[in-house]
Each structure stands twice: as C-alpha cells, then as structure tokens.
Amino acid sequence: MKNLIKVERARHNLTQGALAEKLGVSRQTIHAIETNKFNPSVTLAIKMARFFEVTVEYLFEIEEND
Amino acid sequence: MKLRMLPNWFKKLGFIIFLIGASVSMYEGFMEGLTGTPSDSGQFDSVKNYLGEKAIHWFDILSILGMIIYIFSKEKVEDDYINKLRLESYQITALLGLSVTIVLYTFSEDIKLTLDYFIILFLWTYLITFAIKKRLE
C-alpha cells in the first residue's frame, strides 16, 4: 500500500517526531508507515487523514499486488 | 493480539532490581577475573558469609526477576507497531532458543546445562532483538 504521509508531513512542515507526538504514536511507527514497512490500523489511518484534513483514500492507495 | 503490560515506570524498577541482583551475583566472577584469584579460594565469600550459602542463588533470581519486569513494561509510547515488533521479537527468540537447543543436543547428546543458561539466553535474546528492531526498522 502506497501512502502520501511523507508528502503531507512536509506540506505541514513537521518532523516525524512532531507528527508522532500529535497523533499519539511512536516516531518509529511514522517511519515504518512512510517506508511501507507497516500498514496502520483503520483508527490510525482515519486519525492521520483527519489531522491532514484529507480523505483516507487520498492518503493511502492500494497497489495491484495488495 | 493485545498484551497486558506493566506501566512504563516499571522499566526503571526492573532495571534497578536487575542491577542489584546482577552486581551481587556477578561479584565473585568479576573479582576472579580482576585479581586472578580463583573464586573457590574463599577470598570473595563476603556475601555468602554475611547472608548465607544460598544468597548468591537468590540474587541470581532477583536479577532474572528484574529483567522480566523490564521486558513486561510498556514503552513510553505504546502502539500497534511497537506491539508488532514485540511479537516478532518473541517469535525470533523462541525460534533461536529452539535452534540453539537442538544444535547443542545434536553435537553433544550428554550435554548438561543448568536452567539458568536457558532463562538468560531467552531474556537477553529477546531484549537485544527488540532493541535492534526498534532502532533499525
């Protein structure tokens, strides 16, 4: 699954640590999501979309082989 | 799978308990290495003399207990990803422990090891695996 977390994070001028703090998760979690090593739970995906004021579908995109 | 964990401040408590237990139980071996005098010479028996013959064993148990408390304490921020890393670390530790046991048994059928070797191997393997995973992944 591809995602635009890094792009949105840069748009909001936030570090991984700052975003993690705002979402109540660890910095490692943000790094793992950005590098596609970890798919977030539905709850976290919705939290992220709300924080960036975008839709979940915009933030996360399912790939062919998913 | 959600694991019930101890609060984060238990990490510090576990670490302190481990330090107390380990420093006393490793004292004999450390002094043997430092001075070159064999530990069975009776020169470093101050703990045994003061607290009794079984004292070292109980301090050993204390250090293991400290490690267990440390392992079962929450991280500062506990989330799904940390939980995933923790479960993967348990999995690797179990497989590694089983592999080491099988390899030892294969090469030496008569090998006799005390239980503390397996406990320490399990606890340290888990701690190292989890620490590496948390930093590298």
First to last CA, chain A: 7
Half-sphere exposure of B125 (CA within 13 A, CB side): 19
Interface confidence (ipTM) of the complex: 0.82
Q: What string of pLDDT tens digits covers the 137 residues of chain B?
A: 566 889 999 999 999 999 998 888 777 777 777 777 776 666 666 666 777 777 888 888 999 999 999 999 999 888 999 999 999 999 999 999 999 989 988 988 788 888 888 899 899 999 999 999 988 86
pTM for this predicted structure: 0.80
> What residues of A are in contact with residue B134 (Cβ under 8 Å)?
28
Residue in chain A closest to B81 (alpha carbons) equals A29
Is A45 part of any domain? Answer: yes
Please indicate if any CB of chain A lies within 8 Å of the CB of B80: yes
The domain in which residue A30 lies consists of: 2-61
Number of domains in chain A: 1
Residue in chain B closest to A17 (alpha carbons) equals B77
Is A66 part of any domain? Answer: no
CATH code for the domain of A26: 1.10.260.40
The CA R_g of chain A, rounded to the nearest whole Å, is 11
